[in-house]
């Protein structure tokens, strides 16, 4: 069910939610967090769809804050409530606001926050260089960005590294979780030799390459190289050099990874590129600070020895 509330207030939206609860049951019971999404108009539906998918594992109230058209009356707020089949296992409130309301988004969403529930803020596109300094980020326990959607992903990653505060995270980091598990399993086998260098290849501006290379360089205490290949999809190959020969994880099609190690038979495993909802679900699994991500930003990025452009 979708309820449109044009030219309204957040207090009116809160009262309408209470009315819906009285009429159809306690829709807010069992919600484990409030997910605040800061999105442009063109990104709303994709973000809501991903949040709805994530809500099946993490029941939540989703509050979307988006700018209203520039020709709208000053101070106007148009709201939309989605419940039932239009909201997954959550309830979705979309707030489209004109200036100056957009300058104070924390005040705007405050009446709609779930009592005593953690607050997570997600910027599906771009996001601030310092999430903690943002009015919404300052009130959140977790702040999720996605550097892969930034105008300059690598520069955005550098900005986030400089401003990192506990509670910050990035969907580009969530997208390397399965890679990290596969690589750890491959290394943790005889002959247990140290890795002398690592090489991560893939999509030219996909920051998952940088984060994976930084993590490997930090944990293995070796030089890490990122090779950016135009026209590829996400991470396509990871090579770990050892004395007895390289370990190579190759995923040219974005679906199946082939693992080759000296003295062992070739192995093939399913490793599809993670969808937006899968990455979001991964990040919502933990609300405590991600210490490893902080170390990768603070210490690991500096271990990337070279960045090459491959034609």
* pLDDT tens profile 144-176: 999 999 999 999 999 999 999 999 999 999 999
Average pLDDT over residues 84-106: 85
Per DSSP bridges, beta strands 119-122 and 33-38 are: parallel
pLDDT at 24: 65
Tell me how long the chain is: 311
Which tens digit of pLDDT belongs to each residue from 212-247? 999 999 999 999 999 998 888 899 999 999 999 999
Residue with tokens 């991903």: 50
Instruction: Spell out the domain ranges in the chain.
Output: 2-170, 177-309
Mean pLDDT of the chain: 91
pLDDT at 311: 54
pLDDT band for 308, please (50, 70, 90 cuts).
low
Which tens digit of pLDDT belongs to each residue from 22-75? 776 545 556 889 999 999 999 999 999 999 999 999 999 999 999 987 767 788
Question: What is the value of pTM for the model shown?
Answer: 0.93
Which tens digit of pLDDT belongs to each residue from 238-278? 999 999 999 999 999 999 999 999 989 999 999 999 999 99
Residue with tokens 């009262």: 15
pLDDT at 29: 54
Strand partners, 240: 198, 247
């Amino acid at each position: 069910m979708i309820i449109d509330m044009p030219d309204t207030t957040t207090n009116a939206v809160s009262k309408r939610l209470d009315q819906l609860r009285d009429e159809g049951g306690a829709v807010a019971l069992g919600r484990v967090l409030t997910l605040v999404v800061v999105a442009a108009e063109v990104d709303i539906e994709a973000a809501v769809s991903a949040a709805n998918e994530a809500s099946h594992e993490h029941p939540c109230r989703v509050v979307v804050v988006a700018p209203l058209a520039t020709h709208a009356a000053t101070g106007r707020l148009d709201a939309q409530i989605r419940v039932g089949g239009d909201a997954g296992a959550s309830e979705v409130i979309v707030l489209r606001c004109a200036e100056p309301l957009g300058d104070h988004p924390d005040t705007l969403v405050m009446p709609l926050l779930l009592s005593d529930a953690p607050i997570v803020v997600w910027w599906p596109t771009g996001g601030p260089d310092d999430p903690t300094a943002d009015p919404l980020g300052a009130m959140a326990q977790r702040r999720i960005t996605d550097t892969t959607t930034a105008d300059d992903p690598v520069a955005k990653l550098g900005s986030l590294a400089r401003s990192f505060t506990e509670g910050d995270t990035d969907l580009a980091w969530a997208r390397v979780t399965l890679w990290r598990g596969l690589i750890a399993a491959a290394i943790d086998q005889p002959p247990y030799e140290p890795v002398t260098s690592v090489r991560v290849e893939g999509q030219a501006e996909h920051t998952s390459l940088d984060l994976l290379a930084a993590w490997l360089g930090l944990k293995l205490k070796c030089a890490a190289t990122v090779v950016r290949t135009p026209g590829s999809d996400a991470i396509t190959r990871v090579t770990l050099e050892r004395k007895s020969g390289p370990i190579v994880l190759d995923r040219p099609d974005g679906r199946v990874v082939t693992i080759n190690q000296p003295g062992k038979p070739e192995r093939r495993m399913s490793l599809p590129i993670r969808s937006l909802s899968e990455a979001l679900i991964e990040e919502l699994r933990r609300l405590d600070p991600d210490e490893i991500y902080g170390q990768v930003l603070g210490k690991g990025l500096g271990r990337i020895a070279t960045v090459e452009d491959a034609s």
